[in-house]
Every structure is written in structure tokens, then in C-alpha cells.
Amino acid sequence: MGRYRVRAAALVAWALLAAASCSSGQGGNDAARYDGPGPFPVGRAEITLEGIDGGEGRATAWYPAEGTVAVATASAQVDADSRVADGPYPLVVFDHGLAASPEQYDRMLTHLALWGHLIVAPVQVSDSDPVDVAEAVRDRASEAAAGPLQGLVDDGPIVVVGHSAGTTYAARAAAESAAVDGGEVAGALLLAGGGQGAVGVAPVAPTLFLAGGRDPVTGQWMVPGFESAAGPAQLVVIDEAGHLSFTDLCSSATVTLGPANCTPDDIDEADVWPVIDHSVVAFVRAALGSDDGFDALDPGLLQELAPGALTSQGTLSASS
């Protein structure tokens, strides 16, 4: 069986397994919801990637694993060596923010892996292009000693995700790869950043800008980034979220991180997780061609999941 037929079969299985765990929105909205746990447990492993950051770049991988889901908000099993036998799974490359680390996004990336995705997050030391990272991941997965990645990496389009300064890499990849390589990047998700280090870059692939209303970056970078997008784009602003609401820092901090970084004192940080988790999974699945498309990013459904007001501009659609 050819590799493309194998990939098609794998994606069908991915879609069916995920669909089996979906619930419909309330309030008359029938779009799938992804704020709850997906059908897979999750493993996490530290890996090295040849040719990244001038040598063997370090990265963390979250991946669908064998077994059962123990709890809805489980963190990844550190150094788990098991995997789902019927991979491969779609690849998502994640770029963290300045002075951050991949592990500080464990909760959000674990949730994405619960829904049947492989996420690889390089430790950014210098300029690492997400497409180069994806190629290095696939090279690593083809090796005999690939460990948990062996047989797990789909060879089709990827989705790039970035937070804060990490949106620089995601925005560039969504513009350059889509234009030069015929759409290798299926979509870009920019969290709390508008690709501010990629001035003049207009994403061609479908792009979701997801921001916190308490974050000054929203007005400074995200609105201009959204307005300059060359392809389908949507800007969603969660009023009660801050710059670091996409990380694990707000819920685990022992010091005050500042009013622009987290939720206000009268709202628990966990209250913004449903709309963030749902939006991240819904966008990634839609960009990769799920049957429900971008319907799950309907502003009405997102508002149901948000702890306060939410605004949305633009409409996403598949690339032509």
C-alpha cells in the first residue's frame, strides 16, 4: 500500500476516533466541542533534532499513547515510551515565547495531543524555522532508534503554533511555506502575538489570532497582524484572559505576574481554559481538513465557553 493511501487511512481513523468523543455545543449550536478530553492518553518525551539550532537541537514531544485516559485534565506522562500502534498522526510544531520553555505549556499541549495530534516543541535558542523542525522530526522518526516517534509522524501538511515571540516563526512559516512549497503549512495559530518579529509578513495559510483582552500586545501587534493577513483569518479576543493565560504559569505562580498577564482576581485562571482548549483543537483539526471545517470556531459557541465577553473578527475557510 502506498504511503499516501496509508496516510489517508490514518487520517480517517483519526477523524473517527476524535468524532466519537465530540459533544455538540449547547444553545442550538451543533458544532463539535473540544473543551473536554479527547480519546487518547498522552506520552511526553525529550528528543534531539539534527540540524536545528546549529547542531542537535532539543525539543519536547507530546504524542498519543497506548492505554486509557485517566483524568480529563491529566498532564503528560513524562518520558512515556508507549504509543498508539495505529499511527501516524498529524504533526503540530509549537514555538514558545521569549525566555519560556516548552514544558510551561504542558497543559495546553497535552490537551491537543489528547485529540490525536503529535506536537513537537523545540527549545528556541536561535532562529528555527517550523518547516525545518518538521523535516527534522520526520527524519528522526524514520530512524531505527526513533523511540516513541517511530511510525507516529504523518507525512502530510503541518500546523504551526506560536505564543508571544514564538508567533514570529509561525507567521513566517504560514507565509513562506504556503507560497513557496505549495501549502506544506496548512494553518497557523498565533497566541498572544501577531508575528511581531516578522514585520511585513502576511500569512497565506488560514490563520487564527487568539488573544487576551487584558494583554497590551493585542492592540499593538495582533490587530495589525490580523489586518495584514493575506489568507483567511480570524481574530478572537477573550476579554478576561491575559498574555500568559495560554501557559501553565498563571495557575502555578507563587508571585504576582501582573494584571496584564493573567485573569483578574475575581476569575479563576481555569475558567478561561475551556475556550482556549476548544479553540486550539478546533483550529488545528479544521486546518488539517476535518469534516466539520471551521464551524467549531463560530463566535456564538466560543462565547458559550468563555468566562466573560468575547469578540471575534473575520471568518476562516479552507485554503483554495
Q: What is the pLDDT of residue 40?
A: 87
Mean pLDDT of the region 243-252: 88
Beta bridge partners of 238: 212, 310
pLDDT tens for each residue of 123-163 = 875 556 777 788 778 777 766 555 667 778 888 899 999 99
pLDDT tens for each residue of 20-61 = 445 555 545 678 999 999 988 888 888 887 766 555 678 899
How far is it between the farthest Cα atoms of the chain?
A: 57
Q: What is the pLDDT of residue 199?
A: 55
Mean pLDDT of the region 200-209: 84
Q: What is the pLDDT of residue 7?
A: 42
Q: What is the pLDDT of residue 175?
A: 83
Beta bridge partners of 91: 118
Q: What is the pLDDT of residue 80?
A: 46
Kindly tell me if the per-residue pLDDT of 71 is higher than 50.
no
Q: Could you tell me how far CA 261 lies from the centroid of its own chain?
A: 20
pLDDT tens for each residue of 72-115 = 344 444 444 455 556 789 999 999 887 788 899 999 999 999 99
Higher pLDDT, 57 or 314: 314
Give long-range contacts, CB 8 A cutoff, 24+ apart: 67-73: 67/41, 68/41, 69/37, 69/38, 69/39, 69/40, 69/41, 69/114, 70/41, 71/37, 72/36, 72/37, 73/37, 73/107, 73/111
Higher pLDDT, 250 or 312: 312
Question: What domains are defined for the chain?
Answer: 3-313 (3.40.50.1820)
Kindly tell me if the per-residue pLDDT of 232 is higher than 70.
yes
Q: What is the pLDDT of residue 112?
A: 97
Q: What is the pLDDT of residue 159?
A: 94
Kindly state the percentage of the chain with pLDDT values over 90.
Answer: 34
Alpha-carbon distance 120 to 133, whole Å? 8
pLDDT tens for each residue of 165-191 = 888 888 888 887 766 655 689 999 999
Q: What is the pLDDT of residue 31?
A: 84
pLDDT bracket for residue 317 (50, 70, 90): confident
In 203-250, beta strands by DSSP E: 207-212, 233-238
pTM of the model: 0.85
What values do phi and psi take at 93, rounded to 5? Answer: -100, 125
Kindly tell me if the per-residue pLDDT of 310 is higher than 90.
yes
